[in-house]
């Protein structure tokens, strides 16, 4: 085995270990948008249409995130977007995505309720999300 092949295997192994240890960090942003609006917001349609989605199942619903879309798309809530932006392919999200989704969704929902009571702007919403995540010991 050549040194280059060994290094390539080592990099892939390290990436997989980090993904399992740290979960899915970018998932937090997508869940936050999903909780705030109920769906993903397309910011780059061309990118979203030409790249595969990362998917996971929560409860009985399939969720995905895609480059070019901020927030989660759901097969149940937004089937048109799901079909369009996952047409290139659906890749499984890293192990633990559904568990991380459950934790983050609960914390962000709680923060959203507190934020609504205060009636603050977007900065206040993010501050409340950060506070609630910290209180629950959830790192981003």
Provide the 3-class DSSP secondary structure of residue 89: coil
Strand 61-65 versus strand 53-58 pairing type:
antiparallel
**Is residue 64 included in any domain, yes or no?**
yes
**Is residue 1 included in any domain, yes or no?**
no
Number of domains forming the structure of the chain: 1
**Is residue 77 included in any domain, yes or no?**
yes
**Is residue 72 included in any domain, yes or no?**
yes
Tell me the angle at which helices 97-118 and 122-135 cross, rounded to the nearest 10 degrees: 130
**Is residue 29 included in any domain, yes or no?**
yes
**Is residue 98 included in any domain, yes or no?**
yes
**Is residue 123 included in any domain, yes or no?**
yes
Rounded-to-integer distance, Cα 136 and Cα 140, Å: 12
pLDDT per residue as tens, the chain (140 positions)? 788 877 777 667 656 644 544 445 556 665 666 666 667 878 888 988 999 998 888 888 888 888 888 788 888 888 898 899 899 999 988 777 777 777 877 787 888 788 888 877 767 777 777 788 778 776 65
Q: What is the residue-wise DSSP string for 96-140?
A: THHHHHHHHHHHHHHHHHHHHHHT--HHHHHHHHHHHHHHTT---
Q: Which domain holds residue 70?
A: 25-135
**Is residue 94 included in any domain, yes or no?**
yes
């Amino acid at each position: 085995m050549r040194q280059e092949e060994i290094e390539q295997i080592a990099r892939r192994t390290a990436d997989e270990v980090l993904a399992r240890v740290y979960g899915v960090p970018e998932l937090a942003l997508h869940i936050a948008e999903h909780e705030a609006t109920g769906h993903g917001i397309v910011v780059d349609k061309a990118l979203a249409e030409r790249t595969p989605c990362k998917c996971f199942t929560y409860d009985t619903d399939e969720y995905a995130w895609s480059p070019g879309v901020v927030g989660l798309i759901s097969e149940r809530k937004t089937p048109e977007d799901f079909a369009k932006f996952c047409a290139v392919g659906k890749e499984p999200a890293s192990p633990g995505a559904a568990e991380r989704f459950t934790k983050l969704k609960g914390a962000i929902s709680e923060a959203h309720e507190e934020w609504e009571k205060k009636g603050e702007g977007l900065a206040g919403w993010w501050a409340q999300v950060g506070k609630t995540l910290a209180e629950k010991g959830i790192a981003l």
